Structure 1
Amino acid sequence: MARVTTELNNTQIKNAKAQTKDYKLMDGKGLFLLVKKNGSKLWRFRYKKPITGKESDLGIGSYPKLP
């Protein structure tokens, strides 16, 4: 059964603080915000490669450059 996630809103993203380790805030359908331990926030997309079936992450851009 698929995991149900709610879409991130701007307030949640702004309030995400750096921690001792990098962590992810899931936005749903493979999209997530990676919060780095230095405080930077990067949009990533997790997908499955069609030929190998392995999961991989695609960097889309940084927050707030991409809302």
Structure 2
Amino acid sequence: MSKLTAVQIRQAKPKDKPYKLPDGQGLYFHVAESGKSTWRYRFRVDGKESTCCVLGEYPDMSLEQARKARAEAREQVKAGKIRHMSGRRKSRRRTGCRSGFRR
């Protein structure tokens, strides 16, 4: 899988349905129908895929910053600070994952 580039991110426009552009290691760029673009991180705990963490909004968070935030979130998952969430409507506070990775 090739990594995202700044040009691909700038050219991402809203469509009829939300879509994702993967960067690798669980990081992806999410574009909503409304045009809101966010950096998200998906991870696994004990073999179960967890719902994602929203790392930040674009353009407030650049590609480079999102990759650093993903690395920090990954370390928190390994340390057990972010737990698996089952179900779509659980609060981020319960997993320990939040938008606090912004710089």
Bin the TM-score by the shorter chain: 0.7 to 0.9
Q: Which runs of 5+ in 2 are unaligned?
A: 63-103
How far does the alpha carbon of each residue in 1:15-61 deviate from its partner, in whole angstroms, 9 at most, with x for none?
011000000000001000000001111000000123x7232201100
* Aligned: 1:58 with 2:58: no
Q: Which runs of 5+ in 1 are unaligned?
A: none
Output aligned runs, 1:41-56, within 5 Å: 41-50=37-46, 53-56=48-51
* Aligned: 1:35 with 2:25: no
Aligned equivalents of 1:54 and 1:37: distance in 2? Answer: 25
- Give me the TM-score of the superposition, normalised by structure 1: 0.84
Q: Whose radius of gyration is greater, 1 or 2?
A: 2
Q: Name segments (4+ residues, structure 1) moved above 6 Å.
A: none
- Give me the TM-score of the superposition, normalised by structure 2: 0.56
Higher helix share: 2
Matching residue's letter, 2:49: K
Higher strand share: 1
Query: Residue 4 of structure 2 aligns with which residue?
Result: 8
Aligned length: 62
Cα RMSD over matched residues?
Answer: 1.3
Q: Is contact 2:12-2:31 (8 Å) kept?
A: yes
Matching residue's letter, 2:53: L
